[in-house]
Amino acid sequence: MQVQQIEPTLGNPLDLLMNTTMNRIEKNWSPLYAPSSDTIRLSRTIEPHEVVDCSLTSGVCWQVAVTSLATVFEKLRVQFAPSFHLGTNTIRLDDGRLLGLLHAVQRGKKHYTSLVYVLQAALPHRILAIGRRPLQLPLGQVDHGFVYTSSLFRAGNDVIVGYNVRDRTASLKVVPLKMLLDDLEVVS
């Protein structure tokens, strides 16, 4: 995983490394926010939900919280897919909670199902709610294929979802924030 400083100037990408064992491939870390000017807080995994802080100068990361909703995710695996990963950055809601998108992955297929989730505002950043239904995103000019969500941006009462279809498009969809919140099921 790499992070590149954009402001105030472009810098070289910084490799993020856990101070513990890492998997061979780790690419779905999700930015939560920056607790200080030289540290970024990220979700490393969704289940268990592992939260890490990383130095923006050295790239060294350390675990700051772990919570689990194993029984909730077992039900979701039966309903949607066997594997869940983080999908987008989070955005802050008016009450301080964080909203993001995770994706369920069908094994052996390029098929992703995106679900909204909400995290507690402060550590340990427990998962509080998960969407009941997958987020539906239009395919546009591409008639079929997988849709992969990549970013979220809050625009007043709307959320702009960045995504791609079959790794061939750069697409945006404006979704009313209320629609996302109304679909949530409280899980803790």
Q: Can you tell me the distance from the alpha carbon of 61 to that of 43, in angstroms, rounded to the nearest whole number?
A: 11
Q: Provide the pLDDT for residue 101.
A: 96
Q: Can you tell me the distance from the alpha carbon of 115 to that of 100, in angstroms, rounded to the nearest whole number?
A: 8
Q: Provide the pLDDT for residue 50.
A: 95
Q: What is the pLDDT of residues 87-141, one digit of tens each?
A: 899 999 999 999 999 988 876 666 788 999 999 999 999 999 999 999 988 776 6
SS3 77: helix
Question: Nearest to residue 188, comparing CAs of 120, 136, 92?
Answer: 120
**DSSP collapsed to 3 states, 28-45:** CCEEEEEEECCEEEEEEE
pTM higher than 0.85, yes or no?
yes
**Cβ atoms of 13 and 4 closer than 8 Å:** yes
Q: Provide the pLDDT for residue 109.
A: 65
Neighbour-count burial for 8-35, b at 16+ CB within 10 Å, e otherwise: eeeeeebebebeeeeeeeeebbbbbeee
Distance of CA 85 to the CA centre of its chain: 8
Question: Average pLDDT, whole number, for the chain?
Answer: 86
Q: In Å, how far are 45, 112, 157 from 49, measured between CA atoms?
A: 5, 19, 28
* Tokens of residue 162, six digits: 């960045």
Q: What is the pLDDT of residues 58-85, one digit of tens each?
A: 889 999 999 999 999 999 988 888 888 8
Q: Provide the pLDDT for residue 59.
A: 87
**Cβ atoms of 102 and 89 closer than 8 Å:** no
Q: Provide the pLDDT for residue 164.
A: 86
Cis bond leading into 138, ω under 30°?
A: no
